[in-house]
């Protein structure tokens, strides 16, 4: 693990379509121009040398084979070290790009060393053709490898390259051995013979190699824009310098100033990468992640997953350490697994502790939010406390709740009197903090929370106690409403008033609804024959059977007047197919009422009238006392139709039948003349619904 790893996978091909890519400091325009000027300087020097060859280039001819040999050996050694390090990283990360980049340095090192061994007076007495073209050939081979390494290799291509990694290395060794044998054994091949007249050159291949290096540098720059890295900048710069060296090498009679410039560019390219690796090694104290930023996207994602795994494991160990009370730095347990040095282990320890605290706080805040969500209207007190306790235990540990009973709060073996919480916010001791739970400012219970390890734990525990107090108070207030409020009005009206208290204001709105009127035919004569207590018993039995039928189909009961009741459908709650729901409720009421009347022959019988139309719906009365009701011709017609119904029947108006549709089985009553209506009203007896 090393900090040289990229921050995220990203696409190697650039920023997503439609979004301007982020430019890190190293690629800002000003710094980019400075970087480009540094790369252009060697080409400018070459132009000056070639433009005035007699004045500059030839005047400074310096033929000193020992200096050349030892320069080549030193740079080749740097290359071999870099190639070996990158090769190890490629094996460790199983990354095809690192494998190809390592071959770039190893091939350059090999041919560079062979070029040095071919220096006159070292092995051969005179200059040779191999001495002239050895390094350009090696740079061309390295250029092909550099170009391939910069491509966004897919999974199949990367797997194919990795599978042939040993073969590629062995092939490179064979090529170097053959080239060295051919160029250093005198008289064996033309490579060991003196160069042909005019000097040796590989001509157009120098330009091809330079082009490949330029493309590779540009591709590396695109990767760098997605995941900025000093190592990517170094590699990009090295590719650019190698390309320039191939251009310079095309115009280089041996031992002239331009020829030495070619060697200087080669040395600078490799030393630049080596120096960057050294700086990063000094910063991190480990070579573990020096080249992670150069890897393919798939490797980046795999490395990121390893980082996530390390942090998750570290957080888990930190939690275990907190539970067990151990003070052993848990990151040391991971140092061997993830190859961390002491500095990295210390940083990871701090990051893990911070992450553990952050995740613990997030978990506890999430528990607070969930407790608030669970405290919804209608949830019983027992269910509320059980759900809240189960949720907060996941975040806070062994949390306990006790409610006041006989003036005391019992939490496990501990007992608290009501006076224990006077003038204090919490009781601390035994590794726990006990906060009071109150309802309307009066002690209703207590919450016991384990003492936390962060500065925010005390505030979070107090907030949790406040949240539970509010939830407990709401549950008990709602229970009172359920007992005192809801039993005196329809649930829909009660729910609407709870959700929007402004609906209790006087006034109303015009709404299409279906009104259901029902009363008991023969109630007056029945009342004259029996005692008052029997009248109440009869009414309660009928209404107990009728009310669930109405509520089950979404109706709202707005009036009980003696033996009569008025129910509305589609008011106050909006309801589709309200006429059908009213009809079904009426038929079910008659079935339920018949069951009661069958066992009581003297009881009166229900008759029901239903009508659909516009009515003014709202609160009617005075500021001191009001009631929810509906007024209008549609409601009046429903009352008149109920008066026309026979006991045990349901009479509906024409509009109701029309809205029910063909599902209604009816018997026509013709046009009825109703009290208060100038025009007759078409009516039907509803016998069934399909």
Question: Which residues are CB-neighbours of 259 under 8 A, at least 6 positions away?
Answer: 252, 253
> How many angstroms separate the CA atoms of 605 and 523, rounded?
8
- Average pLDDT for 230-244: 74
Say if residues 98 and 89 touch (Cβ distance below 8 Å): yes
Listed range (116-125, 280-289, 547-556, 582-591) with the worst mean pLDDT: 280-289
- For the stretch 190-235, pLDDT in tens is 777 776 665 545 556 677 877 788 888 888 888 777 777 777 777 7
- For the stretch 630-639, pLDDT in tens is 899 999 999 9
Element (H, E) at 449: strand 442-450
> From the centroid of its chain, how far is CA 108?
46
Question: Which residues are CB-neighbours of 470 under 8 A, at least 6 positions away?
Answer: 375
- For the stretch 369-422, pLDDT in tens is 666 666 555 566 777 777 777 777 766 777 788 888 877 888 877 888 877 777
> How many angstroms separate the CA atoms of 557 and 682, rounded?
26
- For the stretch 417-457, pLDDT in tens is 877 777 777 887 777 888 888 887 788 888 888 876 666 77
Residue 48 has pLDDT above 50, yes or no: no
Share of the chain above pLDDT 70, in %: 63
**3-state helix, strand and coil shares in percent for the chain, rounded to the nearest 5:** 60, 15, 25
Q: What does the longest C-alpha to C-alpha distance in the chain come to?
A: 145
Say whether the peptide bond before residue 284 is cis (omega within 30 degrees of 0).
no
Element (H, E) at 404: strand 400-405
Task: At 163, list the tokens.
Answer: 């599978």
Closest among 152, 167, 159, 154 to 103, alpha carbons compared: 167
- For the stretch 252-278, pLDDT in tens is 566 555 555 556 666 666 666 666 666
Q: Are strands 605-621 and 650-653 parallel, antiparallel or unpaired?
A: parallel
Phi, psi of 362 (to 5 degrees): -65, -40
> How many angstroms separate the CA atoms of 601 and 179, rounded?
121
Report pLDDT for 68: 67
């Amino acid at each position: 693990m090393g900090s040289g790893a990229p921050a995220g996978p990203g696409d190697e091909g650039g920023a997503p379509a439609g979004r301007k890519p982020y430019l890190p400091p190293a690629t800002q325009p000003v710094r980019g121009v400075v970087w480009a000027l540094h790369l252009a300087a060697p080409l400018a020097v070459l132009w000056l040398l070639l433009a005035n060859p007699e004045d500059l280039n030839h005047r400074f001819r310096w033929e000193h084979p020992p200096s050349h040999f030892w320069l080549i050996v030193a740079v080749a050694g740097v290359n071999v070290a870099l190639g070996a390090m990158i090769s190890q990283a490629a094996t460790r990360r199983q990354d095809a790009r690192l494998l190809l980049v390592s071959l770039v340095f190893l091939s350059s090192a090999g041919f560079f060393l062979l070029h040095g061994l071919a220096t006159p007076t070292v092995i051969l007495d005179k200059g040779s053709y191999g001495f002239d073209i050895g390094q350009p050939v090696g740079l061309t081979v390295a250029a092909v490898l550099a170009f391939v390494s910069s491509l966004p290799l897919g999974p199949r291509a990367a797997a194919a390259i990795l599978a042939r990694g040993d073969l590629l290395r062995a092939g490179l060794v064979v090529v170097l051995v053959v080239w060295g044998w051919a160029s250093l054994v005198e008289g064996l091949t033309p490579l060991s013979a003196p160069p042909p007249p005019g000097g040796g050159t590989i001509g157009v291949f120098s330009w091809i190699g330079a082009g490949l290096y330029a493309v590779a540098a540009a591709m590396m720059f695109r990767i760098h824009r997605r995941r900025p890295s000093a190592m990517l900048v170094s590699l990009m710069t090295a590719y650019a310098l190698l390309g320039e060296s191939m251009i310079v090498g095309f115009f280089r009679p041996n031992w002239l100033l331009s020829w030495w410039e070619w060697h200087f560019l080669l040395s600078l390219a490799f030393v630049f990468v080596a120096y960057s690796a050294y700086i990063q090694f000094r910063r991190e104290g480990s070579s573990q992640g020096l080249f992670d930023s150069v890897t393919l996207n798939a490797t980046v994602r795999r490395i990121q997953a390893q980082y996530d795994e390390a942090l998750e494991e570290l957080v888990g160990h930190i939690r275990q350490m907190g539970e067990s009370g151990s003070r052993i730095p848990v990151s040391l347990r991971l140092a061997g697994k993830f190859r961390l040095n002491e500095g990295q282990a210390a940083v990871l320890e701090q990051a893990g502790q911070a992450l553990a605290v952050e995740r613990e706080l997030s978990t506890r805040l999430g528990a607070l939010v969930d407790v608030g969500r669970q405290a919804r209207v209608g949830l019983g007190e027992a269910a509320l406390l059980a759900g809240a306790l189960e949720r907060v235990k996941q975040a806070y540990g062994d949390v306990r709740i006790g409610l006041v009973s006989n003036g005391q709060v019992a939490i496990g073996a501990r007992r608290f009197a009501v006076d224990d919480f006077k003038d204090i916010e919490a009781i601390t001791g035994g590794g726990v903090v006990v906060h009071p739970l109150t309802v309307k400012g009066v002690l209703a219970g207590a919450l016991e929370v384990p003492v936390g390890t962060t500065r925010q734990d005390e505030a979070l525990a107090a907030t949790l106690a406040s949240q539970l107090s509010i939830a407990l108070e709401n549950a008990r207030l709602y229970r009172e409403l359920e007992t005192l409020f809801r039993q005196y009005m329809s649930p829909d009206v009660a729910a609407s008033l709870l959700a929007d208290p402004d609906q209790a204001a006087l006034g109303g709105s015009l709404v299409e609804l279906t009104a259901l009127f029902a009363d008991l035919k023969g109630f007056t004569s029945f009342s004259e024959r029996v005692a008052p207590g029997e009248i109440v018993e009869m009414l309660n039995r009928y209404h107990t059977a009728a009310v669930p039928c109405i509520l089950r189909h979404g109706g709202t009961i707005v009036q009980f007047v003696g033996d009569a009741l008025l129910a509305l459908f589609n008011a106050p709650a909006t309801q589709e197919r309200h006429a059908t729901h009213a009809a079904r409720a009426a038929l079910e009421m008659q079935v339920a009422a018949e069951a009661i009347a069958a066992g009581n022959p003297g009881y009166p019988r229900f008759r029901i009238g239903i009508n659909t139309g516009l009515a003014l719906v709202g609160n009617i009365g005075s500021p001191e006392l009001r009631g929810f009701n509906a007024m209008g011709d549609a409601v009046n017609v429903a009352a008149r139709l109920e008066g026309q119904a026979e006991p045990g029947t349901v009479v509906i108006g024409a509009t109701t039948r029309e809205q029910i549709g063909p599902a209604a089985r009816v018997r026509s009553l013709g046009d009825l003349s109703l009290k208060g209506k100038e025009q007759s009203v078409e009516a039907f007896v509803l016998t069934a619904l399909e």
